[in-house]
Amino acid sequence: MRSNASLSFRKKSFMNIFKVKVIVEESPEVNRVLALPENLSYEQFHQILIKIFGIGQRMPASFFESDESWKKYKEIAVDQFKILDGSIDGRDELLAFTDEKEVKQMIYFNDATPHVSYLVFFEKKLKAEEGVKYPQLLKTEGNLRDSFGDGIFDEELGFEWDDFDKDGFTEDNL
């Protein structure tokens, strides 16, 4: 299953894409494989994860660069209220996956699903195909609600995608 999303908010052209797999640690049968443009910010990646996992609301979240044993060593916050001393502001910081760097995996935490950890694996760097719009959802397995029920979702906060979608994602293109 392929799904396209336009990245009109980033005018800069890009030559490469990152193929990544995101697995729900507590329920590995729930996972997604994505092709992400190299000029994507952590904030934009956060918005994509909210949508593709059906999290349903915008809450503070952070990425943590990690080593092979999943030890967290650098926080990249994507919400102004989570940016603390020593953390990086992920609202403008670009994804750091490269073949040259040691960053091959990250952990993503979202306050909307406090009992769930998302493991992000860098699979490979590829040349972007001409005429193809990115990001692309390449593969979907499992559903958070099927695995955890509605107990991990805070429905009281409500959700309206358009209320915070300043980057041009729509329900039709993700």
Query: Tens of pLDDT along 98-141?
Result: 555 556 889 999 888 888 899 999 988 899 998 889 999 999 99
- Assigned CATH for 3-7+24-149: 3.10.290.30
The whole-model pTM stands at 0.71
Instruction: Give the whole-angstrom CA distance, residue 145 versus residue 44.
Output: 23
105: helix, coil or strand?
strand
Q: Cα 39 to the chain's mean position, in Å?
A: 13
CA 73 – CA 66 distance, rounded (Å): 6
CB within 8 Å of 165: residues ≥ 6 apart: 47
- The residue behind tokens 């953390």 is 87
Dihedrals phi, psi of 47, to nearest 5 degrees: -60, -40
Name the band, by pLDDT with cuts 50, 70 and 90, for residue 92.
low
- 23: pLDDT confidence band, cut at 50, 70 and 90? very high
